[in-house]
Amino acid sequence: LLASHGYLMLGRWFGVPAAAQVLALFGLAMAIGTAPVKTPGLPDGANSVWQYPALIALEPQFNGSWGLQFTTMMLFSLGFHLAPTAEEYARGFVAATSPLARALVRLLAGIAFVWLVTIPVTSSTESLASTRDNMYLSWDIMGSDAYKASVYPISLARWIATLFCMIVAFAQGNWVVRAVGRNFVGVYLVHMYASMDLLSIVHGLQPYGVMAELVAIVGVPVLYTLSVGAVAQELVSIAFR
């Protein structure tokens, strides 16, 4: 996040056009995207804050590849430059359409979102067993080919479309989405100390079919956020009152 803000600040200082800022990160992601980000002083697989106190500030398991870092910065920059225009068009659409039309658009966007999510899952070259201890999975689950010139632009476009459909379909929200968002900071702060092995849960549910796995993938994080995350969030709120 700090790197993204710093990148935007440098772009403003030197008068770099928005398109050039985005394209520079796009090129870096393709050039060195598969290289893993190393954290000095922390071994691969370090996940105990008690054994490695430096995890409080640095977490190698979330660093992933350089492609992940540059892609994240690129999307941050893209959102920063396009958000005002997108908001203007969205407000105009809401004002010019009926509730029924908006509900239909959200329904279609939700269907498209589910379909787009299935693409990387069904075409993944990695198995659950092979990725269990892989600390350097790319931003997409497309294996070592994720940042090739023939793969990355298409996957990136699909990912942006997925995010767009998700926002259109679910931005109005419900009490579950709002509760998860309200406790997300608590989850971020406490997950190093109390976490759940979601991969093992999903692996254990494989004999029961994809629906059982999907329920676990969605339900376990939600329940964790509404319980452990909510407690941590409340403690943080108390500390800053």
Cα 138 to Cα 140: distance, rounded to the nearest angstrom: 5
The confidence band for 3, taking pLDDT boundaries of 50, 70 and 90, is confident
> Residues 217, 220, 226, 232: is their CA dihedral positive or negative?
negative
pLDDT in tens, 124-165: 555 545 444 443 344 444 556 778 888 889 888 888 898 889
Encoded amino acid at 47, one letter: N
Condensed to tens digits (0 to 9), the pLDDT of residues 166-197 reads: 888 887 777 888 888 888 888 877 876 777 78
CB atoms inside a 10 Å sphere around CB 174: 8
pLDDT grade, residue 66 (50/70/90)?
A: confident
Strand, helix or coil for residue 141 = coil
Q: What is the pLDDT of residues 42-65, one digit of tens each?
A: 776 676 777 877 776 666 555 667
The label of the residue with tokens 């929200």 reads 173
